A and B are shown apart, each in its own frame.
Chain A
Amino acid sequence: MLYDGAKILTGLIIGVLFFIFPFLYDAGKPYKKPEPKLTEKAKKAGECVLSKQFMRTWHMQLLDEWRNDVVRKGIHYYRPREIAREMKLDKRLFDQLRHYISDGTRIYVPKSDKVYYMSLQNTCLDCHSNKKEFCDQCHNYLGVHPYCWNCHIAPEEK
């Protein structure tokens, strides 16, 4: 027998509904995952600045680093292969540990000596010119609103 059963059950139902909200919200709609599409140019290039997994996880840090290098230090070119090779042992170990825990990959050494001009609009968006099908796919999926576009001009799309 429940004492004050009506009140207790009401509270209990509200509580349970609160916790199973993610199960109920938009129930019936199928599972969806984002499908970022590469442009023909990006497919042709074959590799990004660094490995695919690194770019998926860390592209915002890379862009931040680029911004600091360009705006504050006046450095304009990025040499990923040189950086990976000249990395000191302690930093290499630290980076490897970090990679191991964060995505299980190894430090990536690019195959070519390609040098990149550090610019979001001129370099990144040159290949990834399809913001809606590429950037926004994951950003909208995760509710992320990067403030890149506060200053930079998003590529024009049909």
Chain B
Amino acid sequence: MNFLVGLIFSAIVAIVVLLVPWIGVGVLHLYTIFGIVVPYLAILIFLIGMILRVIDWGRSPVPFRIPTTAGQQWSFPWIKHSWIENPKDSKGVIVRMALEVLCFRSLFRNVRLEYRRIENLPKVAFEWEKWLWMAAIAFHYSFLVIFLRHFRFFTNPIPSFVKIIEKLDGFFQAGVLPIPGLTIPEVYITDLLLLAAVTYLLLRRLYIPQVRYVSLPSDYFPLFLILGIGTTGVLMRYFLRVDVTKVKELAFGLFKFHPHVPDGIGTIFFIHLFFVCTLIAYIPFSKICHMAGIFLSPTRNLSNNSRFKRHINPWDNKPAWEYPGMVHTYEEYEEEFRDVMIEAGIPVEKMPEKKEEEKPEQEQ
């Protein structure tokens, strides 16, 4: 897909997500729908969708170990074994997984391959490239902190971990700024970090040709949603302001199954809420599923023990009806792709008779 088409399409959808609550609440005053029905629906879709997703993944057999490693396999005692990069047991797998989930190790390993001419000699060099990792880690941890910070709206005696996070996050007290009252009571570092990181991740998608080429609307859309959430959140906290006591009455009511919408909450809050609801309802159908999927990545969670443990394909020597859809014979494969194969000039076993008659006619 042309990147402009994808970009414009996802931007239009994001603008619709912006306008729906604006009109729905600002003009039509549909408080119950946007304040109660939509959030409950979104939470339900998210929870059920994620559970079905994970169960669906769990039902897929992974008969082979996929060790894609960057380290030396365990073999002889005199060859140094890289136990994290190429684990032979679950201890290594756990460490590798923890590094991946908490530190984004595979992004950290990212380098840029560069072709250069030095003194007129061609040279291939691996360049330092940590920007993606840095933006990703800033973004994900900011998002986590912001998510946890929001628990102050969801719970009533506010748990102490939320208070600690809030205090650490808000230790900037900018005091006097050109716009009076802008930074009252304090500026959250994660708010700024998140917006900066998401903006970088979006610009990177648009700027680097290779990344732009592989980007689809499903890549842009979540970024737009998160940008929308971040922007409306920042607007609400620093510029436009809403009556947070009433906002908490609404949010806390939802979690106590005492749903009601107090009067006097501005439209901006419902725009923020609708962005959030759209995002969480969209998660099970989108790439953001990686929050669960990362734990099920076969290249990260399988130890490389093929050489000393036998893994048997579950449908080997089993009748095909026990594993429907798992056995795909070459005949079936060719049946499915014959036209494309002929078009690409790949030899096929069974030539369709019609095509042979038609082809010369077309050439004439």
A: which residues have CB within 8 A of B?
Answer: 1-5, 8, 11-12, 15-16, 19-23, 25-26, 29-34, 53, 56-58, 60-65, 68, 72, 98, 100-105, 138, 141-147
Distance (Å) between the CB of A28 and the closest chain B CB?
Answer: 10
List the A residue with the shortest CB-CB distance to B251. Answer: A22
Taken together as a complex, chains A and B put the C-alpha atoms of A68 and B181 apart, in Å, by: 10
A53-B264, A60-B184 as given contacts; A8 in contact with B245, CB under 8 Å: no
Task: List residues of chain B with CB within 8 A of the CB of A103.
Answer: 241-243, 264-266
Q: Which among A16, A32, A33, A62 has the highest number of chain B CB atoms within 10 Å?
A: A33
Find A22's partner among B55, B154, B241 (CB 8 Å cutoff): B154
Cβ-defined contact, A147 with B46, below 8 A: no
Q: A8-B58, A101-B240 are in contact. List 4 more A-B contacts (CB 8 A).
A: A11-B292, A15-B291, A26-B155, A60-B185
> Which B26-75 residues have a C-beta within 8 angstroms of A?
46-47, 50-51, 54-55, 57-62
A-B contact pairs, 29 of them (CB 8 A): A4-B58, A11-B54, A12-B55, A15-B50, A19-B46, A21-B151, A22-B154, A22-B255, A30-B258, A31-B256, A32-B252, A53-B264, A56-B246, A57-B243, A58-B181, A61-B181, A61-B241, A64-B184, A100-B266, A101-B240, A102-B236, A102-B242, A102-B268, A103-B265, A104-B267, A141-B156, A142-B152, A146-B185, A147-B173
The 10 A-B pairs with the shortest beta carbon distances in the complex, nearest first, are A61-B181, A22-B154, A31-B258, A31-B256, A102-B240, A143-B158, A102-B266, A64-B181, A8-B58, A2-B58
Find B245's partner among A15, A31, A142 (CB 8 Å cutoff): A142
Cβ-defined contact, A3 with B62, below 8 A: yes
Category for how many chain B residues contact A? 35 or more
Binds A, one of B117-125, B159-167, B210-218, B342-350: B159-167
A2-B55, A11-B295, A53-B243 as given contacts; A61 in contact with B248, CB under 8 Å: no
Cβ-defined contact, A56 with B266, below 8 A: no
Task: List residues of chain A with CB within 8 A of the CB of B51.
Answer: 12, 16
Task: List residues of chain A with CB within 8 A of the CB of B58.
Answer: 2-5, 8
Cβ-defined contact, B155 with A60, below 8 A: no
Cβ-defined contact, B181 with A15, below 8 A: no
Task: List residues of chain A with CB within 8 A of the CB of B185.
Answer: 60, 144-147
> Which B232-254 residues have a C-beta within 8 angstroms of A?
236, 239-246, 248-249, 252-253
List the B residue with the shortest CB-CB distance to A25. Answer: B155
